[in-house]
Chain A
């Protein structure tokens, strides 16, 4: 209930609303602009003559007879075989999320239920690992991976991403499990369950909200990763992000920047959908650490 005293004066209201509008444009406009431009030819999207060409698509009309063209998408998906990278990305993300949640749930649960001092040190170690840029580890991977002949394939990258994901997953799930009352599994153990049975039958049914939130962030980490995937995957196994980076190397010279634009829009679309459906979980996940800390 906004009381009369809390109501803003008109001037201030206009100012704040104006600020929100500016932020809205800053946050949303680049995406819509790129989406719109991806259906144009390069000379429209990067217009030397007149920037309004990017809106009206003069050159696109001249070339394709209509203001919109899917040529960039065709070039990226068919000619450059971007669909392979899309499939690779989803394979990587699926296995990273599943594996990291499975082992992370077990570990996070154990950390939240054990009162010994070493849990603190394990969590601190995880925090240090979380703070390290993943790229600093890559130099350590390359030699052994070449030696064992496992460099460049998807499973290696999946395992590495799972490991890099673990510190964050452990912290989130640990704080989540701490909010589940200990009495639940204690009483199951009194009834004769082992610790694992108590976990399996009592905790698993109630843990899904936390697990889904953590899973979203694991997904984002795997999906958004560039440093590790670019270094550990061979050219034929590339996921989307390193593939787009590689596009830039080849297409800038060929004058096919629009392929990269189309690929970028294609890679952003799943994230849009993700935010649309899981906005609440993402927000709660972001704030979970803050409210506790």
Chain B
């Protein structure tokens, strides 16, 4: 295809991505080094006879508006926003490092800082949910594959539901069930034997709840991919393994799993990226008191009346960097594939 033709074919989609993905990234980066203007203050001296003079400091509305209109981005502050308490909190971290004696104390202080707290949950979620959903998805795929032909389609239909359904809605549906007055919640209360038992009250249990949701939501994806992989499993290899006397478990370990290995890598890479953006469950489970994620911080900063664009931008940039780190193995792999062609 000629360059010219290619250009015209690609123009609409390229333009859409340029204007609404590439430019916003640039604008997010720019915003993250500018802070909103502080209000211009003016000091007025009021003198009343007999009482004397008092000075009063008020906000000079006109001057403030003028400077805000002149430089809508705000004032340039360099990396200050990145280093402040709501983000990397360099001062607080080094202070905690200097004043604490044990790792436990230090991490206590560290995870009281909003960004590190969110990072701790986001990373825990990502790196627990991803392996679990792969194992769970593989187990479902093997079990469903052994079913009768008519049952398979039926099972695939229901298995797709947790994945297809809107994440916010899915988490709400589970949240209502584990509510202490919901069906699972009341069962847990009965099991724990404590009428005040609530999943929402403890940080640990909230994390467990979110992780269970994460696996429930993403296991179907792994299942469908692995199930498709099982259909291409060469029959003769299994037969050869059987003739060699391999047990069922050995057949799975030495024939099925190696055959599915490229798919496992694929699912793992996709899910690492997707779990890293965990956000809706935190809202749906109303869990922000115990678990926050990077995306949730951005959402929280942007929402409400105040719209802290600079703070949200800085977190966005840090999140993008995190995604870039997670993505690098994929990029390396794609590059190698391309070189190989």
Measured CB to CB, the residues of A under 8 A from B are 5-6, 8, 12-13, 16-17, 19-20, 23-24, 26-28, 30-31, 33-34, 37, 45-48, 51, 54, 102-104, 106-107, 109-111, 113-116, 120, 122, 124-129, 131-133, 135-144, 147, 159-160, 162-164, 166-167, 169-170, 195-196, 199, 220, 223-224, 226-227, 230-231, 241, 244-245, 248, 257, 260-261, 264, 267-268, 271-272, 274-276, 279, 282-283, 286-287, 289-291, 293
Interfacial chain A residues near B157, Cβ < 8 Å: 275-276, 279
Interfacial chain B residues near A196, Cβ < 8 Å: 5, 9
Contact at B10–A28, with CB atoms within 8 Å?
no
Interfacial chain B residues near A257, Cβ < 8 Å: 176
CA distance A276 to B25 in the complex (A): 38
- Closest residue to B298 on the A side, CB-wise? A135
CA distance A16 to B5 in the complex (A): 55
Looking at the complex, which of B37-45, B56-64, B196-204, B323-331 is the stretch in contact with chain A?
A: B323-331
CA distance A131 to B327 in the complex (A): 7
Interfacial chain A residues near B248, Cβ < 8 Å: 8, 12
Point out the residue from B13, B153, B174 that lies within 8 Å of A170, measured CB to CB. Answer: B13
Nearest CB of chain A from residue B251's CB, rounded to whole Å:
10
Looking at the complex, which of B106-114, B126-134, B221-229 is the stretch in contact with chain A?
A: B221-229
Contact status of A46 and B176, CB under 8 A, knowing A20-B143, A139-B298: yes
Contact at B24–A137, with CB atoms within 8 Å?
yes
Interface status of B146 (Cβ within 8 A of chain A) = yes
Interfacial chain A residues near B229, Cβ < 8 Å: 290-291
Contact at A271–B28, with CB atoms within 8 Å?
no
- Closest residue to A147 on the B side, CB-wise? B72
Interface status of B78 (Cβ within 8 A of chain A) = no
Nearest CB of chain B from residue A100's CB, rounded to whole Å:
8
Measured CB to CB, the residues of B under 8 A from A are 1-3, 5-6, 9-10, 12-14, 16-17, 19-21, 23-28, 31, 72-73, 139-140, 142-144, 146-147, 153, 155-162, 164-169, 172-174, 176-177, 179, 181-183, 186-187, 216, 220-221, 224-225, 228-229, 238, 242, 248, 262-263, 266-267, 270, 273, 276-277, 279-280, 283, 286, 295, 298-299, 302-303, 307, 309, 312-313, 316-317, 319-320, 323-324, 326-327, 330-331, 334-335, 338
Contact at B164–A244, with CB atoms within 8 Å?
no
Contact at B279–A227, with CB atoms within 8 Å?
yes
15 contacts between A and B (CB under 8 A): A27-B216, A45-B182, A107-B9, A107-B10, A109-B9, A128-B327, A128-B331, A129-B17, A135-B279, A140-B27, A220-B164, A267-B166, A268-B169, A279-B156, A287-B225
Contact at A132–B323, with CB atoms within 8 Å?
yes
- Closest residue to B13 on the A side, CB-wise? A107
CA distance A223 to B162 in the complex (A): 15
Nearest CB of chain A from residue B243's CB, rounded to whole Å:
9
Contact at A133–B279, with CB atoms within 8 Å?
yes
Contact at B183–A290, with CB atoms within 8 Å?
no
Contact at B72–A143, with CB atoms within 8 Å?
yes
Contact status of A28 and B158, CB under 8 A, knowing A106-B9, A137-B25: yes
Contact at B313–A166, with CB atoms within 8 Å?
no
Interfacial chain B residues near A109, Cβ < 8 Å: 9
